[in-house]
Amino acid sequence: MQLEDVMQRLIDKIENSNGEWIKPFNNSMPMNFVSNTEYVGINILNLWMEAEEKGYNTNKWATFQQIKSKGGTVNKGEKATTIFFFKPLKIKEIDETGEKLEKTVPMLKTYLVWNLAQTNLKEETNINSEIVGLEEFVSNIGVEIRTSNSGAFYHPILDYINMPNINTFINSEFYYATLLHELAHSTGHKTRLDRDFSGKMGGTEEQLISYVKEELIAETARSFLQVKLGLNSTRMEQQNALYLKSWLKPLKENPKILWSIFSEASKVYGYVLGENQRREVVA
């Protein structure tokens, strides 16, 4: 693959984006699992896209020789991914006066890497435990929860939540905090609180505001529920503050929308708690 191909692939991703054109696995940076160094520049985006499209459950990569040095092999039929590095190269030139000059120019070098999932080597994974009370709490809303490497999201048409495996998260608390965010989205289904899901990132200003509003409702409701349920919140609240900040810009021209967002988030909070109380009474 040439550098131009990678750039075009990236452009296509952005143009066809629905707001989540890149889904870094477990919010991790692509890294070499032998040298433990992170990849830089265009390689970050290229390896993120490759991991997403191929469904790899890790963002760790290495060259053939590095894999071999760890006693591993590449699985039969697996294809490599190209990464790019610009190496400074000193060259000598003769200027108009005949004087010899030395200058440094960037020289593009390429390497082939394979994802850890393409090898017979095993990754050391987190062993995160399910929190039984939270599993029951979420199940009381009656939304199907599926598990796959395609990311964390709620599908409003098919009415299901998709979550990566719990062991791909930093800890159990991060997993359940993410699950509560998607659970908050699910309350917007027409059979529940019936919110507007027509918003999208690449649409009109009205559609963008609708999309941002729904994200802020879900994340604010998540923070309410997390406090109520006693989840360890320090690190997640830091993430929450950054997340909310990233979505505030489209709303700056109409701050009154924030009032509506917090009102809707409170409805989500009340609905989820109410459904759990109702299920407990029935049980």
pLDDT tens readout for residues 23-79: 445 556 788 989 988 888 778 878 888 887 888 878 899 999 999 999 999 999 999
Q: 257: domain range? A: 132-282
Residue 123 lies in a domain: no
Indicate if 114 and 239 belong to the same structural domain. Answer: no
Helix (H, G, I), strand (E, B) or coil at 233: coil
Distance CA(237)–CA(243), nearest Å, equals 9
Indicate if 136 and 113 belong to the same structural domain. Answer: no
Distance CA(204)–CA(127), nearest Å, equals 43
Indicate if 114 and 140 belong to the same structural domain. Answer: no
Indicate if 156 and 102 belong to the same structural domain. Answer: no
The pLDDT assigned to 19 comes to 47
Indicate if 146 and 225 belong to the same structural domain. Answer: yes
Identify the domain boundary among 65, 93, 118: 118
Question: pLDDT of the chain along its 283 residues, tens only?
Answer: 666 676 666 666 655 655 444 444 555 678 898 998 888 877 887 888 888 788 887 889 999 999 999 999 999 999 999 998 877 777 877 777 777 778 787 788 899 999 999 999 987 666 788 888 999 999 999 999 999 877 889 999 999 999 988 888 878 888 998 999 999 999 999 999 999 999 887 778 788 888 888 988 998 898 889 888 888 654 555 555 555 565 566 555 565 676 788 889 999 999 999 998 887 665 5
Tokens of 264: 């809707």
Residue 113 lies in a domain: yes
Identify the domain boundary among 70, 90, 118: 118
Characterize the bridge pairing of strands 60-62 and 31-32: parallel
Distance CA(139)–CA(137), nearest Å, equals 6
Indicate if 81 and 214 belong to the same structural domain. Answer: no
The pLDDT assigned to 9 comes to 67
Indicate if 103 and 208 belong to the same structural domain. Answer: no
Indicate if 264 and 207 belong to the same structural domain. Answer: yes
Partners of 89 in beta bridges:
105
Partners of 31 in beta bridges:
38, 60
110, 84 in Cβ contact below 8 A?
yes
Beta-carbon contacts of residue 207 (< 8 Å; ≥ 6 apart)? 198, 199, 200
Indicate if 140 and 19 belong to the same structural domain. Answer: no
* Total domains, the chain: 2
Largest alpha-carbon pair distance within the chain? 94
Indicate if 142 and 276 belong to the same structural domain. Answer: yes
Indicate if 44 and 71 belong to the same structural domain. Answer: yes
pLDDT tens readout for residues 237-249: 555 555 556 556 6
